[in-house]
Amino acid sequence: NAGVTQTPKFQVLKTGQSMTLQCAQDMNHEYMSWYRQDPGMGLRLIHYSVGAGITDQGEVPNGYNVSRSTTEDFPLRLLSAAPSQTSVYFCASSYRPGQGTSEQYFGPGTRLTVT
């Protein structure tokens, strides 16, 4: 199993540009999440999904969109990049409660810089 994969590893954007961060998992997990990690702030939840076709907002959703058309994929879209979105982004997946163990598995991260 590849686990959770993310692309790209690094990205530089100009203010106002849009892009999609890709995330895929091959563990048949129903739960998938996107976090951002900033120095001194810890990991903060952006959006999450409890299954294909179902998404919801986390703690810091503004400026980001998600969709979940398949169990495997959970892309994160930046609509109009801003310098405040410079961060490291992590995708994670887990079983739903009752389906199996509930720990989240994280991808390797995407380091995004917005200039």
Partner 1 sequence: EDQVTQSPEALRLQEGESSSLNCSYTVSGLRGLFWYRQDPGKGPEFLFTLYSAGEEKEKERLKATLTKKESFLHITAPKPEDSATYLCAVQAFIQGAQKLVFGQGTRLTINP
Nearer to partner 1, 11 or 106 (CB): 106
Of the candidates 35, 104, 23, 102, the residue with the CA atom closest to the CA atom of residue 70: 23
CA distance 86 to 13: 9
CB of 107 to partner 1, least distance (A): 5
Does the footprint of partner 1 cover residue 51 (CB under 8 A)?
no
Give residue for tokens 């989240």.
Answer: 104
Does the footprint of partner 1 cover residue 33 (CB under 8 A)?
yes
Does the footprint of partner 1 cover residue 44 (CB under 8 A)?
yes
CA distance 99 to 90: 23
Structure tokens at 92: 């994670």
Q: Return the residue of 19, 50, 52, 82 that touches partner 1, per CB under 8 A.
A: 50
The residues that bridge with 93 in the sheet, in sequence order, are 32, 105
Q: Return the residue of 17, 65, 86, 104 that touches partner 1, per CB under 8 A.
A: 104
Chain positions contacting partner 1, by CB under 8 A: 4, 31, 33, 35, 40-45, 48, 50, 56, 58, 90, 92, 97, 101-109
